[in-house]
Structure 1
Amino acid sequence: MTKFLLERGADPNALSGYNEFPIHLTLFHADKTKHREGVLDALLADARTILTIRDYQNEHPLHCVEYGKSGSVRMVKRLVSEGASPFKRNLKQQNALHLASRAGDHDAVIVLLSLEVEPASMDNEGLNALHHATRSGNHETISVLLETAVATKPSLVASKDTWSRISLHHLLSTTSRVRNETLQLLLDKGVDGSELDAFGKSPLASYFKGHWLGLNFDICQFLLSVKGSSSYVDKNGQNLGHLYASTLDRRVQTLELMREYSVDLAKKDAQSRTILHCAAISGSINEESLHYLLYVVGVEMNAEDESGKAALQHAVEMASKDHDSRIHDPGRWNRTTRLLSESGVSQAASRAIVG
């Protein structure tokens, strides 16, 4: 049908009401590769088709390839052979290598690198190809970019975006598919595992924040073993214990791991809050973790922060709030309140007996 229309004078470069071109729509919206390639063949066979054309988002044909999906490499090679430029940028100042890296499209990245697209080139957020690749979590894509960096752009390894985030920050804060071998590769190539971003967050702190619903124990162990990582304290005076308590992980095993790496779990932050205060506010207490904090770490149950509140008061306040019903585990503050109340009664009884 595309060929039929073109043969009867249809303009292959005509704009739609949304300022879209046929070539862009062909690359974006076809569901099946064979149909998409058939339409693309018809458009490219027409001498009038312009491959340097850009749409309303300043996107060129190579921006519209569905990177990470079957046929992407064939599309890239075909478009480039017909005159499409891999160096063009969209409104976000991203080129084709940025997009292929973000999709974790290892094979397309290799092709684009062979065309001498610059891996250190930054978009308008200061993100280069390595930053985008680490956001995908794809080990092979990260590996090929690092190999290129070692050979031609060693500065890429330590590069920072606009917010001073390095590749480890992006890997740990945006993807759940982190592999130990990827972490090891980045560190072996010279990435600093204790580097702070513009917000004062280390890679491990970013991991806690980005994965507050549940953490990978092996990743925590790997990152705590990085020199300088376990001594991290943020601008609010909170160490890794406070930050961990703000997640919903709740495992005693992780608390034991942090103690093993000399994280002070009894430390108070700038607001005089203990790890127990933070756990009460997030609702991340269970019976095992509470027992560990009280009787192994020695956190004081009734310690007050600078506002004069103990952990139980924070839990009660959080439980009384009108939480969105869609929030994860909305009953967690009621459970936390009950556990803290019961522990308080138990401690009081113990002191009375001893007295």
Structure 2
Amino acid sequence: MKKLFKGYSPWGFLSFRHENQEPPWYLTGYTPVKKIHKAASMGDITQVQRMLEFGDVDVNITDRKKRTALHYACAHGQSEMVALLLWYDCNIEARDRDESTALIKATQRQHEECVKILLENGADPNAIDAYQNAALHYTVYNNTVSIAARLLAFNADTEVKTKHGYTPLILAVLENKQEMVELLLQSDANINALDNYKRSALIHAMRAQSKDMISLLLQQGADASLMDVYGATARSHAVFETFQVSGHHPCIPVKTPTQEM
């Protein structure tokens, strides 16, 4: 993770082991054991159909981590398999051991066609996993703008918060994803939403020394007067002495805070 987070994850849930794992922990460990899960992972339509039509196999059967065939199909990007399993009336909202739905898994793995099929078949875009994250948080972190746009088109909540109170917009600012920030603002995300330390997106942009992000947020009406739990405003967090923060942008130098907030 970036040093910006000062020792903790932007998610508010990752353990030390997970923070230092490459690739991200949610991209690993999806190796199937049961026959139907193996077939779903490989996209073997014929085999899965045969098992469901003529075998004594439940389409919603789970492994020891509570993963269904739909989870495995989404994890491995098998969009045709996703459609088949839905045709066989699988549980689209089934949860694995991490409380992840198939939609959350598809967004984690950045499989847009799977996301599309799930949303069109009624998957809940606002489901929250065990780590207090929604599909939109993972999409923002992965910077998959097209998937984020799909989620938003199906009414994904722009104000849903992580354990640390990060909305998708705040997370996008923390990750310096400008195109994602623009998309979220176009979708009426609250520009002045606050995290658990009462820090807004603008305050985080100041702390990250992101001049372009600061300019964008100010242009879109971010409130520079909001104070965090330490009584510091975006002005207090400014790191460029020549960068001005006010509604009228007067030429008043802003000093960098002398102590960590």
Q: Does 1:270 align with 2:193?
A: no
Give 1 or 2: higher helix fraction: 1
One of 112, 135, 139 as aligned partner of 1:178: 112
**Structure 1 residues 121 and 307: CA distance shift in structure 2, 3 A:** same
Q: Does 1:258 align with 2:223?
A: no
- Unaligned stretches of 5+ in structure 2? 1-30, 254-261
One of 146, 155, 161 as aligned partner of 1:233: 161
* Residue in structure 2 matched with residue 290 of structure 1 by the alignment: 214
Q: Percent identity?
A: 21
Distance 1:344 1:350 in 2: 7
What is the Cα deviation at residue 134 of structure 1?
0.8
**Structure 1 residues 177 and 192: CA distance shift in structure 2, 3 A:** closer
Counterpart residue identity of residue 295, structure 1: Q
Q: Does 1:102 align with 2:41?
A: yes
- CA-based RMSD of the aligned residues comes to 3.3
- Unaligned stretches of 5+ in structure 1? 1-91, 316-336
Structure 1 residues 236-281: Cα deviation after superposition (integer angstroms, max 9, x where no partner): 3332211222324222xx3333223221112222201111343456
Distance 1:158 1:144 in 2: 16
Listed as ranges, the matches of 1:1-355 within 5 Å are: 94-116=33-55, 117-149=57-89, 153=90, 156-173=91-108, 175-179=109-113, 182-209=114-141, 211=142, 215-227=143-155, 229-251=157-179, 254-279=180-205, 283=208, 285=210, 287-300=211-224, 304-307=227-230, 340-344=240-244, 350-352=250-252
Contact 2:32 2:38 in 1 (8 A): no
What is the Cα deviation at residue 105 of structure 1?
4.1
Structure with the greater alpha carbon radius of gyration: 1
Contact 1:248 1:284 in 2 (8 A): no
Distance 2:198 2:97 in 1: 33
Contact 1:94 1:123 in 2 (8 A): yes
Counterpart residue identity of residue 193, structure 1: P
**Structure 1 residues 228 and 216: CA distance shift in structure 2, 3 A:** closer
Counterpart residue identity of residue 166, structure 2: Q
Q: Using structure 1 for the length normalisation, give the TM-score.
A: 0.53
Counterpart residue identity of residue 296, structure 1: Q
Structure 1 residues 22-63: Cα deviation after superposition (integer angstroms, max 9, x where no partner): xxxxxxxxxxxxxxxxxxxxxxxxxxxxxxxxxxxxxxxxxx
**Structure 1 residues 162 and 346: CA distance shift in structure 2, 3 A:** closer
Counterpart residue identity of residue 105, structure 2: H
- The aligned length equals 222
Structure 1 residues 329-350: Cα deviation after superposition (integer angstroms, max 9, x where no partner): xxxxxxxx6xx45424999982
Contact 1:304 1:311 in 2 (8 A): yes
RCO (CA 8 Å, sep 6+): is it higher in 1 or 2?
Answer: 2
**Structure 1 residues 307 and 103: CA distance shift in structure 2, 3 A:** farther
**Structure 1 residues 343 and 123: CA distance shift in structure 2, 3 A:** same
**Structure 1 residues 296 and 164: CA distance shift in structure 2, 3 A:** same
**Structure 1 residues 303 and 140: CA distance shift in structure 2, 3 A:** same
SS of the counterpart of 1:297? coil
